[in-house]
Amino acid sequence: MGLGLLNAQNVYSYGFDTAFSTSWTLTNQSASANATTIWVKAAYTASSTSENSIFSSGVGGVPVGQAGGSNSFALVNFSSTTGTGTISNWLITPVVNVKDGDVVSFYSRKGTDGTTDYPDRLELRYSTAATTVVPSTGSTAVGSFTNVGVIVNSALAAGFVYPKTWTLYSFTITGVGNTPVPVKFGFRYFVTNGGTTGANSDIIGIDTFSVDRSNLGVNDVQATKSLLSIYPNPTTDFLNIKTEKSIGNVSVFDISGKNVNVKSDGDKIDVRSLPAGTYLINIETKDGVSTEKFIKK
C-alpha cells in the first residue's frame, strides 16, 4: 500500500513494473508538442558511460524505482515540446472507484543527479465527470480534470524544490460522498517556459501509485486524523497546522493550481489576504508531503 496504512483496504495500486495497459490514456498537449515524447515506463539498459547516472543509478547501473527494482517507474521529460513553450503532458489512469476519506498517494523525484536545476512541476488531478473529457485543445486545457489533488513544486521554484530522491506525496479525497464513485486520475507534467531551449523542465519519474481506504473505527479514524490536521476549517483569518512531525515547507495554491502568497509562522498560516474560496495547502514533513483542502470565508 502506498502509505502503509494500518487497517486499510487497497482500492487500487500500480507500481509501473510493466508497460501501460490500454486502459491508460497518454496525451501530449504541450505547445509545439513533440509527438514522440509521452509518458513511458523506464527502459534503461546497463552502460559503461555516464548516460545512465540518472535516477541515482550510477555509472553502468540501471535506475530503480521507489519500489519494484530496475526500471519500475514511469518518466517524462523536457523534450515534450520543441524549442521553448508550455509543457502539458498527461498520463491518465483507468477508472478507480473512490469515496470521501480515501487516501491517494504516489512517489516522485527528478531524474537528474546534476547540480543545475531546471525546475519541474507535476500536477495530480482527477475527473468525477460521468463521461471523462480528455484534454485535447492545447497546453492550457484540463478537460474534465478540474479537481486538483497534489501539485509538486507549484511555483516552479529552483534549488531542487522538486526533490532528487523518491518522495511521498498524498492527499485525501473529499467532496464525492460516502458511496464510491468512478473517477480517473491524471498526472500532468505542466511546465511553463519549458522545452529543449526553455529555462525550465528536465526529467521526472513517478512510482507506487496507490488508493487506500481506511477500515478503522470512528475513534481510530479520529486518532489517525489527529496526526496531521488543519483548523479551523473554514477560516476567516488564520489556519493552524496540527502535526506530531516537524513542519518543513508549506505552500498554498488556489483550486486552479496557482500558487498564492501567504505568511507563515511555524504552524500558523495567515490567510487574511486571500479572497474567499477553496484552497489547497501542501504540508511537508520528514514523512513526505500531504495536501489538505480548506475554505477561506
The tens digit of pLDDT for each residue in 237-261 reads 999 998 888 888 888 988 777 888 8
Would you place residue 216 in the very low, low, confident or very high pLDDT band (cuts 50, 70, 90)?
A: low
pLDDT digits (tens, 9 = 90+) for 74-91: 999 999 999 999 999 999
pLDDT value at 8 more than 90? no
Which has more pLDDT, 259 or 18?
18
pLDDT score of 201: 97
pLDDT of residue 225: 42
> With bands split at pLDDT 50, 70 and 90, how would you rate the model's confidence at 222?
very low
pLDDT score at 245: 82
pLDDT value for 220:
42
Domains of the chain (ranges, CATH numbers): 8-214 (2.60.120.200), 227-296 (2.60.40.10)
Specify the pLDDT at position 226: 43
Distance CA 290, CA 284 (A): 7
Residue 13 has pLDDT above 70, yes or no: yes
pLDDT of residue 257: 76
Statement: residue 224 has pLDDT above 70: no
Task: Identify the pLDDT of residue 52.
Answer: 54
- Residue 289's pLDDT is 83
Q: What is the pLDDT of residue 179?
A: 96
Above 80 in pLDDT, residue 33? yes
Which band of pLDDT confidence, cut at 50, 70 and 90, is reported for residue 124? very high
Mean pLDDT of the chain: 89
**pLDDT class for 3, splitting at 50, 70, 90?**
low
What is the predicted pLDDT for the residue at 213?
A: 95
* pLDDT surpassing 90 at residue 125: yes
pLDDT attached to residue 53 = 67
Whether 209 shows a pLDDT value over 90: the answer reads yes
pTM of the model as a whole: 0.81
The mean pLDDT value for 129-141 works out to 97
Q: Phi and psi of 119, rounded to 5°?
A: -55, 140
| Residue 60 pLDDT level (bands cut at 50, 70, 90) | low
Q: Name the grid cell of 2.
A: 502506498
